[in-house]
Amino acid sequence: MNKIDRIKELIEILNRAAKAYYQESRELMSNLEYDALYDELCELEKETGIVYGNSPTVNVGYELLSELPKEAHESPMLSLDKTKEPEVLRSWLNGKEAILSWKLDGLTIVLTYKEGKLFKAVTRGNGEIGEVITNNARTFANIPSAIPFKGELVIRGEAVIRYSDFEKINASIEDVDAKYKNPRNLCSGSVRQLNNEITAKRNVNFYAFNLVKAEGRESVSVEADFNWLLEQGFDVVEYKKVTSDNIVETISWFADRITDEKNSMDLPSDGLVLTFDDIVYGRSLGRTAKFPRNAIAFKWADELAATRLLEVEWSPSRTGLINPVAIFEPVELEGTTVSRASLHNISILEGLELGIGDEISVYKANMIIPQVAENFTKTGDMVYPEHCPACGGATEIRMTNDVKALYCTNPLCSAKKIKLFSHFVSRDAMNVDGLSEATLDKMIEKGFLKELPDLFHLSDYAEEIKEMEGFGQKSCDNLLASIDKSRKVIMPNFIFSLGILNIGLANAKLICKEFNYDLERIRKASVEELTAIGGIGEVIAKTMMDYFSNEHNSEILDLLLKEVDLQIPETTAAEGSQSLVGKVFVVTGSVNHFKNRKELQAKIEELGGKVTGSVTGKTDYLINNDNTSSSSKNKKAKELNIPIITEEEFLRMIENFA
């Protein structure tokens, strides 16, 4: 294993161990093992001059901006000419060697390094002016914050989020409407965050595809540049060297990577890029008004299949939007059977002039997402439902941002209600056991549940519930007991349970703490008051204010408050001073006076302090009973002149001996 691969392996091992230790209160290795691996990583970083942004030796300061600054690129970033025909690529090569690589589908970024340090990161923007996202780029999983090359370096590459990470993030979002549509949208939003702590959690990766400038170094070939960038610690796009003889079979190799289940491509891609390997030759070709002549893009020739439209299914969501879905006779596409495709909105449906029974062609966009390509018969006689398929309420067509869409006008729509009740009873909200979406659907249908306060009156329907499928005397009693138990609820969990758009549990906690757990103050808070809270932006503040100013929501909240007993978190209600407000601690090693480090952390937070996992310039104290050890945290604390104290010294500090 080479040194760069070993660095990456150590980072993964150490970060996994740190997460288990600090967030899950379990140990994957001893402190001795951790420190040995940490020291090995430090030595390798020193030896190679490569330090990655996600290395535990680096502490990236999180930053909250009001807006992203803009900056003009030194030279315009042009688009590429493109083709879907492999033979066009063979002819284009004209006997020359070239590099065939993935055309990744993310956000193009330009990185500048000076004196071996990341100096600047700018998005492609419109090709001439981009947004400066330097501090966000520092949090990318695989961007080096330091490299061995000390001259000015400018490279271009693609920021992407893997399909596997995209699916994990979407799986963690309960609200269907809040899920991200595709990895590119998620990546674009993550890279351009005003709060780079959010970027850090999204596992954004960067793959270089063009070395623009390396001060004092002459670029001869693309492959040589790629190898040199690998030596500097960068990841580059996966590529193959090709000629006219093997270009067609190499395209097939890339295509197989997308459909191969065992060795599938985990990075989003919308095609390939072919670039002349000889850089001098490529530059000599110049460019057109629109495209450079040294490279060309290859877009996958979509596999089309003819079929017949059987029906359009209308799928309502929590927001009231009703999405059209095309149902057609099953066809084989890219190795799978396909029988449905989203039509997204009425504007697209009208553009295709669809009618039931029409002969259509379908394909998989980027070999993945089923789409309707063309309508051959174009009857255009589609009838839009006048009533919501979920609740029977009236529908209406609305024009939003020049797009027509169908909406349910019924504020009590069952599709909305099911999602709302499901969220209300979830574990981090009211925490009621025994109410699945299927059960809630039945109870809403039977009229047991119309508004959230009705949950606390389900005992009125105890006899009917016992007769429901899956219920009996015991399960009914358990459900009613769980509902009764949920009445005593901690305030942040209660606010989270209301289903306010963009308000997660963490945000609810922040807001409650800022307003000293005074619900009336929270209900009357202005956007200005809410945005003054660290971590709360204008979008969140506005949705919060809009929710509480809505008359219907206010009435429901008043009814709920008659049913619940709001609790203030124990750490806030506990007597004693907030003597540690503003103080930042790091805890390491074994503890003697507390059950575990988690209990010690809870004590610090109870007194207003904060506990972090790494020693940084913002740390006020490192708590370590072995304050003379040569552990990495002790070394860092000494370097930064941060006091290292024992448990006893900490207890004396808070005047509360255990």
Give the active site residues.
103
Q: Which two tokens stand for residue 642?
A: 């941060």
Determine if residue 484 is left, alpha or beta; phi over 0 gives left, psi from -120 to 50 gives alpha, anything else beta: alpha
Q: How far apart are CA 380 and CA 245, in angstroms?
A: 48
Q: Where are the alpha helices (DSSP H) in 109-162?
A: 134-137
What whole-number distance in Å separates Cα of residue 165 and Cα of residue 202? 8
Nearest CA to 141 out of 205, 197, 193 is that of 205
3-class secondary structure, 535: coil
Nearest of 180, 60, 31 to residue 634 by alpha carbon: 31
CA 185 to chain centre: 10
DSSP state of 642: -
Neighbours of 564 (CB within 10 A): 17
Rounded-to-integer distance, Cα 471 and Cα 448, Å: 15
Q: Are 326 and 354 in contact (CB under 8 A)?
A: yes
Interatomic CA distance for residues 310 and 375, integer angstroms: 13
The tokens 């501090």 sit on which residue? 135
Quote the tokens at residue 490. Answer: 């901690």
Report how far residue 51's alpha carbon sits from residue 58's, in angstroms, rounded to the nearest whole number.
8
**Cα gap 48→410, rounded to integer Å:** 63
Choose among 302, 323, 298, 300: nearest CA to 312. 323
